[in-house]
Structure 1
């Protein structure tokens, strides 16, 4: 999905003063990471380690895994395409609504896809499928599935691979509910992003946690040097300072709940409840595309038109909470438009 994603500021000639279209933490500590990279620019004089051994080791320690179970990727997006490639032609179930890259990656590699509402995850029969794809927390609706339920599904369908996108794991106060702790099921594959929580989406950095056999197979099918030297340095710095660099989740969720609560006061809107920094809203009249264009044109505010998420219609848009000042600007702008 090259077009239609969040943070698509390049599509507009107007200056974007406030960007609610991305789920990146507004209070991430990217400035400290940038300053660290400024002092380590010499790393670009050499090729990056194609195996990302130093970073893989640090991630493995963080995840209580062996390095052989870690694959560093150029963002979570590379992870999805590598996994879809490995399972080319498979029957796959994609929980919806969901990040479009799951479907795009599967279609590119000739999967036979079935789409199942994420609310049915605990009740669905997954025996016909080689792989099941979902986000936890799920993008765009912020659905949370307890880790115990995911592990239960893995054990019930041992011949099915469950691919769970944990890009937003750190952006909810319910982390303990969804975090996979203890022994990971052999048919469970976790994808992670280091760019959302740490507010460095331009770096493109993520990783996969899976069995050593799956990681080895993925490694054989990828292009060399897909993760550049600066990204690897950033990743090592993040892992060395992980908890300190995480955003203040109380502040983040406080602003999300504030924005949800205030928008519900508008009778022309419906905002879905969320325990993450992002949430869905729906217009009772009009289209999200029209609202998006007016907000950009009249107020310099960018939101995410969510109508291109499978299962959602033209009335849906997604918001990533920002600072209190920015949130108030958005509330005032929407109230002026949606009278």
Structure 2
């Protein structure tokens, strides 16, 4: 298991000698609007569900997500977060040679290593704002049987156009593309088309309710693929891998599809405006703010500042931001900040500018 995921407010609180609630967590990419309205109250009224075992296979949650995505329920498998599928992927797909498109979430590579496979990396470049050159990627694909790709990508925020990705996968039918769409619901509506309904047998989609609906602690994630691929993953899944409250939360989403769609639309509008204001307030030649289609911003630091230095300075002010040093292909020159409520987004600007030596 890697060290250095976002959201470790407990470790920072212990280090600083303060309470976790005193820390403003801008390292974890969760919907700044919170959970879907009504969800917490719904779960609060059903806490007695923990007295009995949940469904062994999470089938009702899979049906609810299938309805949300507009795909057949037979193409969806429920798990204890998308992480469970990431770590099972190489075994389920009998992977021999894997490629990770990065810089990206470190668990893809760690999931390969658990199965004894050392993955190769195809790294996008800062000079191109970390945009993916699909034609260049296509030239290195021969010889690989599994490709991990996060879209929109974490931590860069870059979104590969749906048609570009569709064409790439279609041109390489013998390669399994594992497309992690955990942050796709945050993308603007006209760029948020999922690969879950693409009809290609070599595409495996990871879909999360944790980020967009503000419920990461419940650990519910989903895999969308053809039935043969689902069967291969299903054999590796332990029974009861989705707990009772997570199942109930996802069923709530499925029963309130209109409210969920409205909530996603409101989130996108909020992020568009707050992202604009945040970039405007933070504008300085001491920082590079990379384009992002989602709820977080990757920030390039000046040469005389490291991520360790900047994160420590912000931590002293009780702001936790993401140190990107453990993202392969980034290192100490980058941090990531997830947008929160308007007051918090404004409050972090001054200490961040001070930490990098920017003039006010």
- TM-score, normalised via structure 1 length: 0.94
> Are 1:283 and 2:308 matched, yes or no?
no
| Distance apart, 1:81 and its partner CA | 1.1
The number of equivalent residue pairs is 337
Q: Choose from 321, 328, 351 the match for 1:310.
A: 328
Q: Choose from 53, 56, 61 the match for 1:55.
A: 61
> Are 1:132 and 2:147 matched, yes or no?
yes
CA RMSD after TM alignment: 1.8
| Distance apart, 1:4 and its partner CA | 0.4
Q: Choose from 170, 178, 191 the match for 1:176.
A: 191
> Aligned partners of 2:190, 2:178: CA distance in 1, in Å?
18
Q: Which residue of 2 aligns with 1:220?
A: 235
> Aligned partners of 2:331, 2:118: CA distance in 1, in Å?
24
| Distance apart, 1:19 and its partner CA | 1.4
Structure-to-structure mapping, 1:18-167, within 5 angstroms: 18-30=24-36, 32-118=38-124, 119-124=132-137, 125=139, 126-167=141-182
> Are 1:268 and 2:286 matched, yes or no?
yes
Residues 238 and 245 of structure 1 are in contact (CA less than 8 Å); yes or no, is this contact kept in structure 2? Answer: no
Q: Which residue of 2 aligns with 1:256?
A: 275
> Aligned partners of 2:306, 2:70: CA distance in 1, in Å?
46
Residues 18 and 301 of structure 1 are in contact (CA less than 8 Å); yes or no, is this contact kept in structure 2? Answer: yes
Residues 253 and 276 of structure 1 are in contact (CA less than 8 Å); yes or no, is this contact kept in structure 2? Answer: no
- TM-score, normalised via structure 2 length: 0.89
Structure-to-structure mapping, 1:288-299, within 5 angstroms: 288-297=307-316, 299=317
Q: Relative to structure 1, is the Cα distance of residues 177 and 226 closer, same or farther in structure 2, using a 3 angstrom cutoff?
A: closer
> Aligned partners of 1:184, 1:159: CA distance in 2, in Å?
15
| Distance apart, 1:26 and its partner CA | 0.8
| Secondary structure of 2:242 counterpart | coil
Q: Which residue of 2 aligns with 1:17?
A: 23
> Aligned partners of 2:36, 2:189: CA distance in 1, in Å?
23
| Secondary structure of 1:22 counterpart | coil
Q: Relative to structure 1, is the Cα distance of residues 77 and 68 closer, same or farther in structure 2, using a 3 angstrom cutoff?
A: same
| Distance apart, 1:58 and its partner CA | 2.0
